[in-house]
C-alpha cells in the first residue's frame, strides 16, 4: 500500500463499514416492508424511492456546501448520527410511517456523503486517491454485505423483520464514533458564502456531472431487482441474496479498480456506464430464466456501480481546488440524485406495467451517460 496517511484513510473507511453494516439492512428491507408487508402498490414504491433517493439531491448539495463552510468533520458527524432514523422503521405500523423513518435517515446519509468524500480527498495526495476511494468503497460495501448476510438469515429463519431493524442502530453509533476521531475535515471556509469551486477542465467536470445525472436515471433503487427476484422465485430471502451478490461484486471490484492502472475516464465510461446499460437490458429480457441469470446480473451491476463510485469522485477531486472539495462532491451527488429521483418515479410506473419496460428505460439512460463521457473526452 502506497498511501502515506493510511490510518486516517482506514478510520474513514471503517466508519463507512459500520454505517453500511447498520443501514443496509434497512435499505434491503424497505421494499419488503413497504410492498410485501404493508401492501403498497409498485407505483407507490417508485414514488417512495424517488423521495428517498431523489430529494437526497438537496441534502447532498447542502451537505457539501456546509462541509466547506462549517468544517467537513462537523457536518459528517451530524449527518452520520442521524442516519439512525432508518432503524426506527421497525416501529412503523403502515407504509407511510415506514417511508418517513427511512426517508429522513437516508436524507441525512446523503447529507454527510459529500463532506466524507472530501475528507478522504483531504488526507490523500492526487496520485493516492483512486486507491483511497477504492478502499473506501470496498470496505464500505463489505459492511453492507455482512449486513445483508445477517438480514438473509433473519428472513430464512422466519424471524420478525420489524423486530430486527431497531438493532441496526448499534453499528451506526460505532460508525459515528470512528469518524469523530479522524484527524481531518477541519478545513473550512470562514467567509459568508460557499467556497468557490475552481475547475481546471470544465468540459470534463460538467460532462461527468451531466453523465452521472443520466446514470442516476438508470441507477434505480436495487429494491427493484430484489422485488423481481422475489417475484420470480417466490422467496423473500432469495431476493435479499441478490442484493448481497450485487454488494459482493461492488466491494471486490471497488478495491481492484482502486489499485488498477486504468485510465479513469475510460474505465468510468466502459466498466461503469456501458456495463450498467447492458446489465439493465439483461434484467429486462433474461430474468425469466431463473435464479442463475438474476444473480449473475446482480454481480455485474455491482461491478458497474464500483466503477462509478471509484472513478467519479477521483476525477472530480483532481479537477477542483481543495477548499471546495465538499461543494464539488455535492455537485456530483446532486447530479446523480436528480437522475435517481426522476428515474425511480418513472421506473415505478413502468414496473407496474411490466418489469421489462422499466429495465429497458434504464438501459437507454445509462447508454446516454456512456455517450456523454465519450464526447467530453474527445480531443
Residues 270, 360, 242, 39: is their CA dihedral positive or negative? positive
Q: What is the pLDDT of residue 250?
A: 87
Structural domain contains residue 184: no
Q: What is the pLDDT of residue 1?
A: 52
Give 168's DSSP letter.
Answer: G
Give the integer Cα–Cα distance in Å for 123 and 23.
26
State the burial class of residue 337 (Cβ atoms within 10 Å of its Cβ: 0-12, 13-18, 19+). Answer: buried
Q: What is the pLDDT of residue 342?
A: 80
Structural domain contains residue 63: yes
Q: What is the pLDDT of residue 181?
A: 95
Structural domain contains residue 188: no
Give the integer Cα–Cα distance in Å for 15 and 129.
18
Residues of the chain with pLDDT under 50: 191-193
Q: What is the pLDDT of residue 222?
A: 79
Q: What is the pLDDT of residue 220?
A: 58
Is 0.85 topped by the overall pTM? no
Convert the pLDDT of each residue in 299-341 to its tens digit. 999 999 999 888 988 888 888 887 777 788 778 877 777 777 7
Count structural domains, the chain. Answer: 1
> How many H helices and E strands in the chain?
16, 0
Structural domain contains residue 70: yes
What would the grid cell of residue 266 be? Answer: 475510460
Domain, as residue range, for 206:
6-178+196-376
Structural domain contains residue 183: no
Structural domain contains residue 52: yes
Q: How far is CA 225 from CA 70, 130, 169, 222, 282, in A?
A: 39, 29, 26, 6, 11
**Short-list 60, 58, 33, CA closest to 45:** 33
Which CATH number belongs to the domain containing residue 251 in this structure?
Answer: 1.20.1250.20
Structural domain contains residue 40: yes
**Short-list 28, 37, 35, 184, CA closest to 106:** 28
Q: What is the pLDDT of residue 44?
A: 94
Contacts of 131 (CB under 8 A, 6+ apart): 1, 2, 3, 258, 259
**Short-list 56, 307, 331, CA closest to 202:** 331
Q: What is the pLDDT of residue 23?
A: 96
For residue 196, the tally of other CB atoms under 10 A from its CB is: 12
Give the integer Cα–Cα distance in Å for 121 and 164.
36
Q: What is the pLDDT of residue 332?
A: 81
Amino acid at each position: 500500500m502506497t498511501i502515506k496517511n493510511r490510518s486516517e484513510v482506514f478510520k474513514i473507511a471503517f466508519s463507512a463499514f459500520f454505517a453500511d453494516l447498520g443501514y443496509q439492512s434497512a435499505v434491503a428491507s424497505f421494499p419488503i416492508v413497504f410492498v410485501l408487508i404493508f401492501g403498497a402498490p409498485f407505483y407507490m414504491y417508485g414514488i417512495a424511492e424517488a423521495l428517498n433517493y431523489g430529494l437526497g439531491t438537496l441534502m447532498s448539495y447542502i451537505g457539501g456546501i456546509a462541509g466547506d463552510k462549517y468544517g467537513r468533520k462537523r457536518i459528517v458527524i451530524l449527518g452520520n448520527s442521524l442516519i439512525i432514523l432508518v432503524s426506527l422503521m421497525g416501529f412503523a405500523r403502515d407504509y407511510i410511517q415506514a417511508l418517513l423513518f427511512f426517508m429522513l435517515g437516508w436524507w441525512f446519509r446523503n447529507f454527510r456523503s459529500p463532506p466524507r468524500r472530501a475528507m478522504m480527498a483531504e488526507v490523500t495526495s492526487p496520485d493516492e486517491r483512486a486507491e483511497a476511494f477504492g478502499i473506501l468503497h470496498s470496505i464500505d460495501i463489505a459492511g453492507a454485505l455482512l449486513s445483508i448476510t445477517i438480514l438473509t438469515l433473519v428472513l430464512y429463519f422466519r424471524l420478525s423483520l420489524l423486530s430486527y431493524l431497531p438493532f441496526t442502530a448499534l453499528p451506526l453509533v460505532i460508525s459515528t464514533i470512528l469518524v469523530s476521531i479522524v484527524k481531518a475535515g477541519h478545513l473550512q471556509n470562514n467567509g459568508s458564502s460557499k467556497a468557490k469551486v475552481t475547475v481546471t477542465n470544465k468540459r470534463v467536470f460538467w460532462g461527468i456531472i451531466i453523465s452521472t445525472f443520466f446514470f442516476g436515471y438508470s441507477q434505480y433503487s436495487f429494491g427493484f431487482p430484489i422485488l423481481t427476484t422475489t417475484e420470480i422465485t417466490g422467496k423473500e430471502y432469495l431476493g435479499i441474496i441478490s442484493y448481497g451478490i450485487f454488494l459482493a461484486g461492488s466491494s471486490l471490484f471497488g478495491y481492484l479498480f482502486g489499485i488498477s492502472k486504468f485510465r479513469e475516464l475510460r474505465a468510468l465510461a466502459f466498466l461503469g456506464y456501458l456495463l450498467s446499460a447492458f446489465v439493465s437490458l439483461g434484467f429486462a429480457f433474461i430474468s425469466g430464466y431463473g435464479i442463475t441469470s438474476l444473480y449473475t446480473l446482480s454481480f455485474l451491476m455491482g461491478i458497474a456501480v464500483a466503477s462509478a463510485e471509484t472513478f467519479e469522485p477521483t476525477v472530480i477531486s483532481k479537477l477542483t481546488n481543495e477548499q471546495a472539495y465538499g461543494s464539488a462532491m455535492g455537485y456530483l451527488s446532486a447530479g446523480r440524485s436528480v437522475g435517481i429521483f426522476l428515474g425511480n418515479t418513472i421506473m415505478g410506473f413502468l414496473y407496474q406495467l411490466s418489469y421489462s419496460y422499466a429495465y429497458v428505460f434504464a438501459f437507454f439512460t445509462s447508454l446516454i451517460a456512456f455517450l456523454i463521457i465519450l464526447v467530453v473526452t474527445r480531443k
